[in-house]
Amino acid sequence: MMKLFPLRIWRTLVSTAVLAATIVLLAKYTYPLPAYTEILLWYSRLDPLLLFSHLRAGSFPAWGLLPIATILLTLAAGRIFCGWLCPLGGLLAMLHGGPPPHWIKKLDPYRFPWLLFIMALLIFGSGWAMYFSPFHLLTEELSRIWMMQVPWVLLLVILLGLAIFPRFWCVYLCPTGLLLSFISRWRFFRVKPPVTCVHCGICETVCPTGAAVPDLAMTTADCLLCGRCSEKCPAAFFDIVQHQKDSIDSTSTGSTFTRREVLRSGTALVVAGAVAPVLSRSAGANPLRPPGALDEDDFLSRCSRCGRCIKVCPSNCIKSMPLSSGPALFLTPYIVAREARCELTQHCQQVCPTGAIARVPITNVVMGLAEIDHSQCLGWAHGKLCLLCKEQCPQHAIDSDDKDRPTVRPELCVGCGACENGCPVEPAAIVVKPLPSRRRK
C-alpha cells in the first residue's frame, strides 16, 4: 500500500507544460519546418484511437508501441494520460468550477453507447471519429485561430465546461477519454479513501470527474490521479492499493449489460451503420488533395481534420473544405490551384499524424493532371505567344510545339497547380483535374 501525497504543484506544472508545448510546436509549423516540431507528431501518436485507425486499414505502424504504452499505463493506474498528459485536458483543468452536478449522472448510461458509436464509425471508415480525439480537435481549433477564424468547437467545449463542470468533455464526450475509462475498469492500482475515512464528503466536492465515492471505498474508473481528494481529506492521505481479485469497476460507464444497456448499445451500432456511408464518402467527389494524399476512400477514412497541413503550408494553398461540400468532405484539406499553387515542400506529409497524407517522393505523386482548354488558351485560340504556364511549372511538365503552343507531358505533371495559378486568362485556360489514383504506376 502506498499513500497518494498532494500533487498540486506537479499536476499544474505537467498539464500546463503539455498544453504550452502543443501550442508552441504548432506555432512553429511554418516554412522552413524545424526538425524539433516532429515532437508534436510523435506525441500525438500516444492516442490509442490513432492505432485503431491503422489496424482497421490492416497495418501495424512503426510507432504502434506508443499507443500501446498508453493502454498499458491505463491498465496499471487508470486515466493518467487524461489527467496529466492530454493537452486539451490541461486546458480544461484551468477552468474554474466544481465537481459534476448530481443530475449529470443521468447521462452515465449513454457514455458506453456513445463510445460504441464512435468506434463503429472508425471501423466503417469515417475519419470523423478521429476528429473528436483531443490532439486532433485541439490542433484543428488552434489552426483556425491562426487563420483568424472562430474556433467554434473549442469554444463549445469550454462553454460546456463553464456551464456544467470543467471536465464535462473528458467524462462524457471525448472518445479517447471514454476508451481509457473503459480500459481503466481493469486497472491494477486504485485510489481509495484512508481507513480513517469519516465520510465527510469533501473528496466528492473537489473531484473534477466525480470519481471519488466514499460509499464505495474506492474511486471509480474516471479517476485522473490528480490528488485533489488526498489534498483536502481531513482524515489522512488517500491510499493507492492493488485491486481485489476479480474486481471490475463498472460504475463509470454505466455498463452493466442490462436489457436497457444492450438496447442502447445496439441502437448506437445501428445508427453508426446508417450514418457511416454519409460521413465516409461523397458520391462523385474527388477534390484536389495535398501531395501524397491517399486515394479518396482511404484518405477520408484516415483524415482527422486536424488542420496541421493547412497550418504548415507555406503558400497557403491548402484550405479546409466548406460545409456546403457535404459532411464527408467538410473540414478535409484540399487545394484550389487558381488561388494558390502548391510549392511541393512536402511539409504537409511531415506533419500529418494519421498517414492520410503519406510520405512519398514527389516523383511518385499525382495530385492531378493539367488540361489545356484550347478555346481559352492565348496560344491555341489566338495565336499569341504566352507560355506562362510553361515558365511557372516546376516539374518541366509543359512543353511547346513548333508553333509555340503549350502542351502537357502527363508523365511529368504532378498537378501542383502552378500553371493554373499563373495563367493570365480568366477563367484559366489550363486547369488541374484531380485523378482517381494519386500514385504513379
Taking only the tens place, the pLDDT of each residue in 252-272 is 544 456 788 889 999 999 999
Mean pLDDT of 162-176: 95
Residue 139 identity (one-letter amino acid): T
CA geometry: angle 383, 384, 386, nearest 5 deg: 130
**Contacting residues for 102 by C-beta, under 8 A, at least 6 apart:** none
Mean pLDDT of 413-426: 95
pLDDT band, residue 246 (cuts 50/70/90): very low
pLDDT for residue 429: 96
Q: Is 244 a residue whose pLDDT tops 80? A: no
Mean pLDDT of 362-371: 91
Supply the pTM of this predicted model.
0.91
Rg (CA), the chain: 26
In whole angstroms, give the CA distance from residue 150 to residue 156. Answer: 11
**Contact at 8 Å (CB) between 292 and 338?**
no
pLDDT band, residue 441 (cuts 50/70/90): low
Q: Higher-confidence residue: 236 or 291?
A: 291
What structural domains and CATH numbers belong to the chain? 2-242 (no CATH), 296-434 (3.30.70.20)
Taking only the tens place, the pLDDT of each residue in 65-85 is 999 999 999 999 999 999 999
For the chain, helix, strand, coil in percent to 5 are 45, 10, 45
**Contact at 8 Å (CB) between 88 and 157?**
yes
The rounded percent of the chain whose pLDDT value lies above 70 is 96
Taking only the tens place, the pLDDT of each residue in 383-407 is 999 999 999 999 999 999 999 999 9
Helices and strands in the chain: count of H runs, count of E runs:
21, 9
pLDDT for residue 1: 61
Which range has the top average pLDDT, 73-77, 96-100, 200-204?
Answer: 73-77
In whole angstroms, give the CA distance from residue 418 to residue 305. Answer: 25
pLDDT for residue 289: 96
Mean pLDDT of 324-348: 94
pLDDT band, residue 251 (cuts 50/70/90): low
DSSP output for 80-112: HIIIII-HHHHHHTTS---S--GGGGGGGGGHH
pLDDT for residue 7: 78
pLDDT band, residue 20 (cuts 50/70/90): very high
**Contact at 8 Å (CB) between 193 and 233?**
yes
**Contact at 8 Å (CB) between 399 and 332?**
no
pLDDT for residue 264: 92
Crossing angle of helices 48-56 and 65-77, rounded to 10° = 130
Q: Higher-confidence residue: 387 or 440?
A: 387
Mean pLDDT of the chain: 91
pLDDT band, residue 131 (cuts 50/70/90): very high
Residue 271 identity (one-letter amino acid): V
Question: What grid cell was written down for 38?
Answer: 516532429
Which of 220, 236, 6 shows the shortest CA–CA distance to 99? 220
DSSP tag of 286: -
The rounded percent of the chain whose pLDDT value lies above 90 is 75
Residue 348 in 3-state DSSP?
helix
Q: Higher-confidence residue: 177 or 245?
A: 177
Residue 368 in 3-state DSSP?
strand
**Contact at 8 Å (CB) between 22 and 139?**
yes
Q: Is 196 a residue whose pLDDT tops 90? A: no
Question: What grid cell was written down for 140?
Answer: 484543428
In whole angstroms, give the CA distance from residue 242 to residue 239. Answer: 10
Question: What grid cell was written down for 252?
Answer: 463509470
